[in-house]
Structure 1
Amino acid sequence: MKILLIAGVILAISCFGHGVILAQDSFTDRGIFFLRGSGSFNVSLQEGTPLNLSLGGGYFPFHDILIGVDMEYVRVDDFDDFSAVPFARYYWRQLLFLEAGYYSFKQGDDYFSYLEGGIGYIFLLNDYVTIEPGIYYPFQNDAKPQLKMFISIYL
């Protein structure tokens, strides 16, 4: 229920808060480069302390369409993984985005892969730097929605 409420707030902000004037013509124009990073360190009562670091980049081949790849490192106890995660993003009204990515990793001798989809909002810090919170859902067994936050630079 909280996830739906957060998604509703993000949608309302994007619909009514679009009056933001950008000094740059459009940071989602064709030919713009994109860099982003995030990290998380969770402490829980359950066994294991997960660490997740992500650094990514991309390019706008078309207006409002971003194609990119994240380099992601995940560590939980003795398990650690480094993977490249391709993703695509569609920007709606410049401040709201839909994103899909493909995760693939190896655990022991087994390989796993899944798709992840998400929706997010862009908070502009200046003409080039943004904070981008989003709600993401990994399409795999027993998955739960996740709240992620990225700091991004549009060049």
Structure 2
Amino acid sequence: MLSTLIAVVGTLLGAVVAGLIQHRTARTIRSEARDDYRRDRKLEAVTAFASAVAGHLRAMAVREGLRLSGADPEAVAAACAESHATRSAIEAPRVQVSILVPSLAAAAEEATRAVFALRGAPDQQTLDTLREGAVTAADRFVAAAARHFA
């Protein structure tokens, strides 16, 4: 009788231990999946922001270059329309970066301001200098993001 009781208790304890291990494993898997999802969202926001900044930088350089060179008003107007669209495209990813990766918010803001500064450059030399500064600020953002995700 005692050996039967010990066998039953041992079986029950084994089932409890196995259940606890299974529960802990499932919880770990869910936690890792959540972490992967969060990392993916952060990476998507950072990538979208870097892409939007690069697009606006290109659009502004073209727009201001055309304006400074005295190009056809229709070409300047088309470049202006494109730069407005690319400027708007920066905002959502910038906000996402600020919320999801607060440690990159300052670098994102710096890159945004540097790109916006191209507007109204008084001459080609100033435009080139501002463009280089914007490229540098965008590169600093990417470098900070790379350190964050490393």
TM-score clears 0.5: no
Larger radius of gyration between Structure 1 and Structure 2: 2
Structure number with the higher strand fraction is 1
Structure number with the higher helix fraction is 2
**What band does the TM-score fall into relative to the shorter chain?**
under 0.3
TM-score scaled by length of structure 2: 0.22
